[in-house]
Amino acid sequence: MDLLPIFMNVRDRRALVVGGGEVAVRKVGLLLEAGAAVHVVSPVLVPALQAQVDSGAITSRRAAFEPADLEGVALVVAATDDEAVNALVSELAQARHIPVNVVDNPALCSFVMPSIIDRSPVQIAVSTGGASPVLARLLRARLESAIPAAYGRLAQLVERFRDKVKARFKDTNARRNFWENVLQGEIAELVFAGKDEQAQAALEAAVAAGKDEKVGEVYLVGGGPGDPDLLTFRALRLMQQADVIVHDRLVSKQVLDLCRRDAERIYVGKERDNHALPQEQINMLLVKLAKEGKRVCRLKGGDPFIFGRGGEEIETLAAEGVNFQVVPGITAAIGMSSYAGIPLTHRDYSQSVTFVTGHLKDGSMNLNWSALAQPNQTVVFYMGLKGLPVICDNLIKHGRSSDTPMALVQQATTPRQKEFIGTLGTMLKVIENQEIKAPTLIVVGEVVQLHKQFSWFEPQAYYGDK
Ligand code: SAH
């Protein structure tokens, strides 16, 4: 470690900024946020600084830097464009053991300013030790997006209850359990959902009840069509805090790999015609795990509420009084649309889109074929591979032209994505001697012809050798 990361209290302490330009403006702003008494020394001040002097937010001396400016100062920032002045400030400050930062010149600094993710009172600082401010900024952007903005509010809530909880739970283990439940469970989720009052009431009740055993709940999470980049932030967060992951075949390995490493994983199958566990047993398994006090992530392919039987799982949970939340995922048709370059609607070709199940039951599909055969619309069939002849046949029979473009897309958004393009009349021929890997979607509509022009996704290039 080259630098010691510390958070410094500068409230009401004198902070000197040497320089009066735009860089100084940013540093002054930061110091003011931390409550410092800011004094600026510079022959000229940009209007923003002048305005702060006028309003009394900061003080200034309009002249060149002099050693006497360091008198009584707790911290100095040199932000002039004159290297000699910056070097002098650094040298004199260091001789007096005053922490000094020279903007963009790590060699002259006794401390560096990190990139900050501010969720006050939670603060995260990122530093590359001056090696690359741009890299620090990029990391910061990642952290900004991964840490819910509500963390600050969560920390404030927790802070208000600290003493109460300390008094209620004398044993440190019990106290830790209690806080882990609060920070990773229902109460934190209430804060993230903006329900601060309910969260406070729940915390109040939890302290009063003195409960330190784990409370289980179920997260019904949409894992998207395959590419892990398509997960939502919420999905990722819950995948990483769950104790158990209950998943099936549609969830890609790359997505599964992002789950908490030491979480128990339970595979519940859903192989075509070979359901590893019947749906009722999956429903009861979720209830059982949650009642054991576990946080269960029921991870499903695509979106849980699109042909995912998520509704049934939730019905059972609700009936059994188990807490749950649902996280949307990118459904296969939406992922396929982008990654295959087939817009689902288009002003010139298609005014609506229908997602429909092409699951065969006793060799047929009970669908409203005359509605699906209307022109100027896109129809996406899920689970339709086996029923492909039935689909083509019925659409043509009910009046859709046999020239209507059609695509069969396998394993959309994954390294093995592949498109087979034809028409209602030719598709069966197109795929005749092809090896097609599940899962697949079937898209019918004029928009399919845009694929040639719009396709951008090259699995090999995108995923490298994976
Ligand atoms: N809940 C899922 C759908 C479950 S039904 C979702 O929202 O996507 C299962 C069907 O989804 C499969 O038979 C297939 O038609 C489709 N599917 C799921 N992932 C897919 C993918 N990556 N590529 C193509 N089709 C996919």
Give me the pLDDT at residue 324, please: 92
* Closest residue to atom 6 of ligand 1, CA basis: 302
Is 466 catalytic? The answer is: no
User: Angle at the Cα of 274 (from 441 to 359), degrees rounded to 5?
Assistant: 35
Low-confidence residues of the chain, pLDDT below 70?
A: 270-276, 465-466
Give me the pLDDT at residue 275, please: 54
DSSP 414-444: STT-EEEEEETTTHHHHTTT---PSSEEEEE
The total number of residues shown for the chain amounts to: 466
* C-beta of residue 275 within 8 angstroms of C-beta of residue 255: no
Among 404, 417, 438, 272, residue whose Cα is nearest residue 337: 417
Q: Is 306 in the pocket of ligand 1 (CB under 6 A)?
A: yes
* Closest residue to atom 11 of ligand 1, CA basis: 382
Give me the pLDDT at residue 272, please: 53
Give me the pLDDT at residue 148, please: 80
* C-beta of residue 448 within 8 angstroms of C-beta of residue 420: no
Beta strands across the sheet bearing 264-267: 264-267, 244-247, 295-300, 217-222, 324-327
Task: Name the token pair of 7.
Answer: 């958070």
Q: Ligand 1 atom closest to Cα of 329?
A: 7
Q: Ligand 1 atom closest to Cα of 308?
A: 1
Q: Is 307 in the pocket of ligand 1 (CB under 6 A)?
A: yes
The β-bridge relationship of strands 405-410 and 418-423 is antiparallel
Among 273, 274, 227, residue whose Cα is nearest residue 462: 227
Task: Name the token pair of 132.
Answer: 């690359």
* C-beta of residue 442 within 8 angstroms of C-beta of residue 397: no
H or E, element range at 247: strand 244-247
DSSP-based three-state secondary structure for 265: strand
DSSP-based three-state secondary structure for 41: strand
User: Angle at the Cα of 232 (from 460 to 237), degrees rounded to 5?
Assistant: 115
Q: Give 225 Cα–ligand 1 centroid separation in angstroms.
A: 7
Q: Is 387 in the pocket of ligand 1 (CB under 6 A)?
A: no
**Gap between the Cα atoms of 87 and 169, Å rounded:** 54
DSSP 354-405: EEEE---BTTB----HHHHT-SSEEEEEES-STTHHHHHHHHHHTT--TT-E
φ, ψ (nearest 5 deg) of residue 268: -115, 20
Q: Is 331 in the pocket of ligand 1 (CB under 6 A)?
A: yes
Beta strands across the sheet bearing 37-41: 59-61, 37-41, 14-18, 75-78, 100-102
DSSP-based three-state secondary structure for 95: helix
Q: Give 314 Cα–ligand 1 centroid separation in angstroms.
A: 20
Instruction: State the catalytic residue, choosing from 27, 212, 270, 300.
Output: 270
Among 415, 414, 349, 427, residue whose Cα is nearest residue 381: 427
Neighbours of 136 (CB within 10 A): 21
Instruction: Assign 3-class secondary structure to 115-178.
Output: EEEEECCEEEEECCCCCCHHHHHHHHHHHHHHCCCCHHHHHHHHHHHHHHHHHHCCCHHHHHHH
Is 270 catalytic? The answer is: yes
CA-based radius of gyration for the chain: 30
Between the alpha carbon of residue 309 and those of residues 288, 312, 409, 442, 443, the distances in Å are 19, 5, 23, 20, 22
DSSP-based three-state secondary structure for 378: strand
Name, in order, each residue with C-beta under 8 angstroms of 76's C-beta and a sequence gap of 6 or more: 15, 16, 17, 18, 70, 89, 93, 98, 99, 100, 101
Q: Give 237 Cα–ligand 1 centroid separation in angstroms.
A: 23
* C-beta of residue 86 within 8 angstroms of C-beta of residue 80: yes
Task: Name the token pair of 378.
Answer: 């896109």
* Closest residue to atom 18 of ligand 1, CA basis: 332
Q: What is the largest CA-CA distance in the chain?
A: 93
Give me the pLDDT at residue 270, please: 57
Among 216, 202, 215, 208, residue whose Cα is nearest residue 169: 208
φ, ψ (nearest 5 deg) of residue 326: -120, 135
pLDDT tens-digit profile of 154-174?
A: 999 999 999 999 999 988 888
Task: Name the token pair of 270.
Answer: 């859903």
Residue whose token pair is 């009431």: 201
Between the alpha carbon of residue 312 and those of residues 41, 221, 266, 305, the distances in Å are 68, 14, 19, 10
Give me the pLDDT at residue 193, please: 84
